[in-house]
Amino acid sequence: MAGRGISSVCVYCGSRTGHDPAHAAAASALGHGLASRGHALVYGAGGIGLMNVVADAVIARKGLAIGVIPRHLAELELKHNGLSETVLVDTMHERKQIMFERADAFVVLPGGFGTLDELFEILTWKMLGLHDKPVYVLNSQGYWDPLEELIRQVIGHGFAGPETAALLTFVPDVERLFRALDSHVIETPVQARAHLA
């Protein structure tokens, strides 16, 4: 039985746009590319910052944009009102769990502490064998260079094995990100069992 391509991508990114307009440009290009390829966007439903930019770009190309947001944030009017689907939850933990479940792959754009929280949780789950979904870090303008160095530091000091570096892939631009996404094949359960036999 053949595998299938990616159909949904969870995007973690900032609720601010940052100072460099190149980050918003990358978020917009990502959204356009997701929609044109028929990949659903799964994200935190925000109507602000890079979250808003990527969702607007998906919607502008008639793509599917799925947002997951806790009720307390929705009540603060921080949610995007033009999404294809909005899932309201009670806690941040539920938000992250549903985003994980509905995504075939993860893309990390520039962001702050919330973005780092989401990235490290999904990496920890992958390290523990709870999933094998690809994780891509879009290193726009070298924003994530210190993170890449931190991972090398952790490995170099013996607090993680060398294989940890393979848990995520840093890509320098949207074009190379889509090359990676387009080539990824999700194994069916039959294929996965064959590897274990």
Q: Is residue 127 part of a domain?
A: yes
Residue 156 has pLDDT above 80, yes or no: yes
Q: What tokens were used for 37?
A: 């390829």
pLDDT digits (tens, 9 = 90+) for 116-134: 999 999 999 999 999 999 9
Q: Is residue 55 part of a domain?
A: yes
Q: What tokens were used for 118?
A: 């989401």
Q: What's the pLDDT band for 195 if we cut at 50, 70, 90?
A: very low
Percentage above 90 pLDDT, the chain: 89
What is the residue range of 175's domain? 8-196
Residue 188 confidence (pLDDT): 61
Q: Is 87 helix (H, G, I), strand (E, B) or coil?
A: strand
Q: Is residue 2 part of a domain?
A: no
DSSP summary character for residue 190: H
Question: How many domains does one find in the chain?
Answer: 1
In angstroms, the CA 178 to CA 80 distance is 25
In angstroms, the CA 59 to CA 134 distance is 24
Q: Is residue 85 part of a domain?
A: yes
Please give the span between the terminal C-alpha atoms of the chain, in angstroms, as a whole number.
Answer: 16
The C-alpha angle 187, 188, 193, rounded to 5 degrees, equals 90
How many helices and strands, by DSSP H and E, does the chain display?
8, 7
Reported in sequence order, the residue ranges of 15-168 that DSSP labels E, i.e. its strands, are 40-43, 65-70, 85-89, 105-108, 135-138
The CATH number of whichever domain residue 181 belongs to comes to 3.40.50.450
Q: Is residue 58 part of a domain?
A: yes
Would you list the DSSP string of 3-40?
Answer: -B---EEEEE--SS--S-HHHHHHHHHHHHHHHHHTPE
Q: Is residue 1 part of a domain?
A: no
Residue 126 confidence (pLDDT): 96
Residue 186 confidence (pLDDT): 84
Helix H or strand E segment including 99:
helix 92-101
DSSP summary character for residue 186: B
The residue assigned the tokens 């502490």 is 113
